[in-house]
Chain A
């Protein structure tokens, strides 16, 4: 299929998935058929982990039943079949995000991907002699720039990298509504900025950050751009080349795939100039007792036996997404996101974090219920069979900025019906009465 080359997915020729289609889609997801506490499961936690269609489960099973073998070694038949399946999967997923096959490195998950980048830069910093690694080396005076809305996975690896190298970590602050303060971004982006790492869409706010604006700023100062696409790759049509980022990471289990697999995209010339992170088998050309030479990317970063069946299953997942149509999914989720924010905002004492009704938002909404802790909100909803995420969602600084320690998050996907969103909203409206909290937030 043709890949979308711009993030403008609101195309007149494409319509959102409708409820009838969603009901058909649900038949492909066995886990959704169950009841919780005697109520049909309403799964609104896809932002944490999505569910798997049968085609993904079958792809993994078929691989183990028919083709299981190590890859990139062995001359036997199964080894060839497994290697083909593994590399075909890479090509499928690379195409899905608009990049070349050798620019996609498999990792265990997105966190592992971000650590791969940070540790490779760290290695470059201590071993400047490593060929071509100088451009990735950090030293005191250099700066890494992130944002105040990052998931801990796109914050702590950079904190640690800065601590090890003496570089300084800075962050683009948020306004009271949770949006990036771009005027501050422009001020913070200087010739000292070596790396800009930010999330495409926040896992809490549901906003979509202006990648083009930030990339332009980074280009002007020569900083490398790392995009956390964990929450966008599953939900928006993506083309990393069109977004013009240097690196991007995403996770398989958030996009209908299995756990245990994620990927790093990197521009080919960058990946091949970076020092390896994990070393060992499968990533070398010549090894002596004194030293080793390394393969080019992607194998350069894939030491040890990779997640083979997971790659095959992830390819089945992106095929499912592509066949459904990423633009149609994105439009559908934008509708659900609006339904969420509109419904939840109308409830007394409920504050939705991030963009308000009518503003651009993905298909998730995190909210605070005045006077009731998120854990209790989640427990109340679970009793009704509604699965949501509660807590800080691995974004403590963001919550602190918004004056909270925790929130409740409902996140949709292509299998979420409008009725499910409505049932959630109805249930949330009952939370404060149940816990005996009055309109003012005080105890009754």
Chain B
């Protein structure tokens, strides 16, 4: 596979065109501190890459799963390159059902992978489809593109948890 083809793997090109979760409006706006009965908490984050103007607004909802919490949905609106859009799409597909702990663990590994300049191997079991983005690590100028949605999701999760804390404090 040529360098370019390892960056733009077929899976990435497909996700960049048919984008999972690219329907922000389908998840109601942030309901800070006022979770309706049975519904989860929502956090929202807006991230911008000032270098290229890539932009994403991402909402993440947190609900109960078994005896713990889990990410229930991710929806977003964004504009950007194939890498940033595919990355957001893949993340939206993978996230539902993950506990906050394992979600953060996955984000941490992805960040470490992206920053490795290609020296780290992707943990394919952990990253699933996102492992296809491993090729980005060899293109330092594109790492921020791949990270955009992940940074937004990490922040949105934090916002959702913060709103929960605020609600409990009432």
Contacts and interface: CB of A to CB of B under 8 A. Distances in A.
A8 to B, nearest CB: 38
A434 B12 CA distance: 13
Contacts, number: 50
Interface stretch (B1-9, B20-28, B89-97, B113-121): B1-9
A383 B2 contact: yes
B142 interface: yes
Q: Is the interface of A mostly helix, strand, loop or mixed?
A: mixed
B83 interface: yes
Nearest to A372: B82
B52 A390 contact: yes
Contacts of B85: 373
Contacts of A405: 53, 55, 79
Interface string B75-110: 000011111010000000000000000000000000
Given A37-B3, A383-B3, A376 B52 contact: no
Contacts of A383: 2-4
In the complex, which of the residues A37, A374, A379, A405 has the most CB atoms of chain B within 10 Å of its own CB atom?
A379
Contact of A406 (B52, B82, B139): B52
B145 A375 contact: yes
Contacts of B145: 375
Interface of B: 2-4, 7-8, 13, 16-18, 51-55, 79-83, 85, 139, 142, 145
Contacts of B16: 435
Interface of A: 37, 372-376, 379-380, 383, 390-392, 396, 399, 405-406, 434-436, 443
A373 B142 CA distance: 13
8 tightest A-B CB contacts, nearest first: A443-B17, A375-B81, A373-B81, A383-B4, A405-B53, A391-B52, A376-B82, A376-B81
A404 to B, nearest CB: 9
A372 B142 CA distance: 15
Nearest to A442: B17
Contact of B142 (A379, A399, A436): A379
Contacts of B52: 374-375, 390-392, 406
Given A405-B53, A436-B13, A379 B139 contact: yes
B13 A380 contact: no
Contact of B4 (A380, A390, A396): A380
In the complex, which of the residues A372, A375, A396, A399 has the most CB atoms of chain B within 10 Å of its own CB atom?
A375
